[in-house]
Structure formats: C-alpha cells, structure tokens
Structure 1
Amino acid sequence: MREPADFDAFYDATSRRVLHQLYALTGDLGRARDCTQEAYARAWRHWPAVTAATSPEAWVRGTAWRLASGPLRRGVKRGPKQPAAPPGAESADLVAALLRLPERQRYAFVVRYLAGAAVADIAAETGTSVATVENRLAKAHTTLARILPGDIAALTGGHRV
C-alpha cells in the first residue's frame, strides 16, 4: 500500500540531490529535471518495490540515469522550459569535465563522490564487480586530475581509488 506521507518525505529529502547528480551526469539541466521527475513518478507507481530496495534513492537515481542515457530517451516528455539559474563557474567547469569521461566512468564517479555511495553499493547498483567500479573510478580520477588538477582532490576529499 502506498503511503503518501512516506513518499512525500522521501521526495523532499532526496529530489534535490538526485537532480544535482543527474545534472552532473548529463550536463543538461532540462533533461536532468525531466528524467528526475519521471523517475519519481515511476517510484510512486512502484512504491512498495522502491521501499523494499536497499537504497530507494539509488533506485530513483538509477531509473533517472537509464531514462537520460537510454537509446532514444523513451518515456520522458519534455515539459515547458522553466527558467533556471545558470550554474556557477565551478559547477559548470566540473560538469564540463565530467562530460569528457566515458559514461560508465562518469556514473561511478558521480555516484561515489557526489552521492557518497560506497564502491560495493555502486557495484550492486550497476550489476558489476567491485574491481570494475574501482577501475572506472581510478580511470575517471586520472582523467579529471589532468583536466581539473587542483579541484579533483577537493572534490574527492583527497581520496584516490
């Protein structure tokens, strides 16, 4: 049974984070909004399964990412454009750098360092091994360190996979 108050609390607590993560993954705020909105609509329709998931937020983020990166971006209808504040220079630089990474490296990096997920959780979320996620993170870190040498250490808390 769906509990509207539970869903509302979940949405209020997570939607902004998921939107920011999806923006970092896609580099397109409009697409990030549309896919995030659709992912939460799907979460509402499948609320019992979402609440049974190890991480409901990861369920929504994964759904939004699949919508954003799907072959034809099926199932996501663009709504009317809403004016958005432009991202700050730091955010824009980070997103531009992230977009230079291959998709799988970008996803691992954003989920690890912007969402704060553990490597094992990313492996479970993506259906890969811990070693694969660690490899993707290491490659992403190396590439980003060349693009954003001073900023990467601050972003990752000085950690290197």
Structure 2
Amino acid sequence: MTVEEFEEFYAQTVARLTGQLYVMLGDQQEAQDVVQEAFAKGWVRRRQMDRDGHPEAWIRTVAWRLAVSRWRVRRRTADAWRRGGTPPPHVEPPGPDHLLLVDALRELPAQQRRTLTLHYLCDLSVEQVAAETGLSASTVKTHLVRGRAALARRLHDPRIEEAPDA
C-alpha cells in the first residue's frame, strides 16, 4: 500500500471505524484513541495489511485488542489503588445525553457487544465475524441471538427479539 493509498484508506474509513469501536466500547474518546493508535500501527505495517487484503478488519481488530489491553491496565491500576488504601478519584457518571442503545449495549458481555457491532454496524456476514473474532460460526450466531434478546429486554422492544436470525 503506497502512502497515497494509505491516506485515502484512512480518509475513507476512520469515521466508520471510530463509530464501530464506539458502539463496541461505549466510550467515544476511547474509540477515537484506539482507532488512531491502530492506524499508527497500520502505517508501519501497511505493506502487510495490503497483502492480507482486509485492511479495515486489520485496523478494527488491532483497535479492539488495544482497548482490551487498556481495560487490563485500568483493572490492575484499580487493584493497586485498593491495595494502597486510597480510593481512585471520583468520576461523574455519564450524563443524560448518552444514547439509550449505547447504555443497553454496555450491559452486554463484551464478546456479544463486539459480535453484534461487527454483524449489524459493520455489516459483516456471520462467516466474516467468525474469521475476525476467532469464534466458530455457530458461536457467532449464538451471540447474535442472545445479544438481540438481551437488548430487547433492556430496551423493552419486542420487535428486536423477532429479528430474523443471521
């Protein structure tokens, strides 16, 4: 991938990928951070991304892994604060401007949230989701069915439960 091709790829996909990671993570700033960091890593490996043939999936996967890594660091930091006896600084809860759907998605297990996002927001097929996440196609379908049902309960919308299977 040439410099110009990478710049064009970035311009065409950064907003979409940031939106997708926002839905997966439930945090706009975190999504922006991990997507930018993933693109920085992609810049260094742009020839490899071009050979693999799925640069958008590569960036999305790297961004997801960066987010997971950050969660682990935060958890270890919180554990250290607890052991030290000093509580972490107070953070205000999200304001009312947060979307109801994002709140409902946050309550889902991370893998279900990621699977739903990849399938419905990223418009990936079950097979593509399976390839990107390393899950079997049947596990992806199970996550989709259970995720839709959980969202329907949380959003009190019976139409979601009736959505056709993937």
Both structures adopt the same fold (TM-score exceeding 0.5):
yes
CA deviation string 1:64-122 (max 9, x = no partner): 0111112227xxxxxxxxxxxxxx96x71111111111011010000000010011011
Q: Which runs of 4+ in 1 moved over 6 A?
A: none
Residue 127 of structure 1 aligns with which residue? 134
Contact 1:35 1:68 in 2 (8 A): yes
Residue identity opposite 2:73 in structure 1 = L
C-alpha distance in 1 between matches for 2:100 and 2:19? 14
The answer as to 2:63 corresponding to 1:64 is yes
Number of aligned residues: 144
Q: Which runs of 5+ in 1 are unaligned?
A: 74-87
Greater helix fraction, Structure 1 or Structure 2: 2
Name the SS for the 2:123 alignment partner.
coil
Q: Which runs of 5+ in 2 are unaligned?
A: 75-95
C-alpha distance in 2 between matches for 1:32 and 1:143? 23
* Structure label with greater radius of gyration: 2
CA deviation string 1:111-143 (max 9, x = no partner): 000010011011011111101111111110110
Name the SS for the 2:73 alignment partner.
coil
Instruction: Map 1:3-152; keep pairs closer than 5 Å.
Output: 3-70=2-69, 71-72=72-73, 92-150=99-157
C-alpha distance in 1 between matches for 2:42 and 2:62? 9
**TM-score (norm. length: structure 2):** 0.78
Contact 1:35 1:65 in 2 (8 A): yes
**TM-score (norm. length: structure 1):** 0.81
Contact 1:111 1:122 in 2 (8 A): yes
| Stretch deviating more after TM superposition (117-126 or 91-100) | 91-100
| Stretch deviating more after TM superposition (142-151 or 120-129) | 142-151
